[in-house]
Structure 1
């Protein structure tokens, strides 16, 4: 059977660059990578399709992620009363705030307490 020819370089197409920022970012907790989280967060966004923070500001923006109001290591992961729909901008802002809070409490990114 004949072999498929190798693709030729395309000088008009820029080469893909690695995103250095994301290369060193710690992986999120394994629960965020389950089929259950994917399914339930999608259903939650269907029920609450707008970013709650944008709504408080009088802006209508579609939600892109489901966020834990109280950061996950400090609460039950599956408690839907602790979930909120956010746009990407507000999720990043809240995530940075939560990371500072967890760092102050001595909880690392693997959601375990740091040894004293």
Structure 2
């Protein structure tokens, strides 16, 4: 019986690795550098309060139960279990904050797709930033 595989958790990496590992050999050291909590991701106070709220916890859990597969993978014909609920329009934007509880602004994602989406959003914000 072969060991189940999944994709390396490093954003953009598509190497298949054993299910009991998080990163491929190349990105194993990145594991220590990767943010492990939302405070390290430079969220503002109101965003942190929102993500820790009972309202969000209940909504995200029920949404993921009704949408158990990764929306991004599904678009590519891959069926993978989602592990979190993502805001399509980030709550860092005015529109995203206004629609933070609208299910039309939510999608279930696997960790790999969420990491890749977040990396793209951070890169876009840096490009728009005047500093």
Trace 1:10-49 onto structure 2 (pairs within 5 A): 19=32, 21-22=34-35, 25-28=40-43, 29-30=47-48, 31-49=50-68
Match of 1:66 among 85, 107, 112: 85
Aligned partner of residue 71 in structure 1, secondary structure = coil
TM-score (norm 1): 0.66
Aligned length: 90
1:82 corresponding residue in structure 2? 105
Aligned partner of residue 63 in structure 1, secondary structure = coil
1:3 corresponding residue in structure 2? none
Taking only aligned residues, the RMSD between alpha carbons, in angstroms, comes to 2.3
TM-score (norm 2): 0.59
Instruction: State the alpha-carbon separation in 2 of the partners of residues 70 and 99 from structure 1.
Output: 13
Tell me by how many angstroms 1:34 deviates: 1.2
Larger radius of gyration: 1
Flag the 1:27–1:38 CA change in 2: closer, same or farther, 3 A: farther
Task: In structure 1, list runs of 5 or more residues that go unmatched.
Answer: 1-18, 107-113
1:99 corresponding residue in structure 2? 122
Instruction: State the alpha-carbon separation in 2 of the partners of residues 89 and 48 from structure 1.
Output: 17
Task: In structure 2, list runs of 5 or more residues that go unmatched.
Answer: 1-31
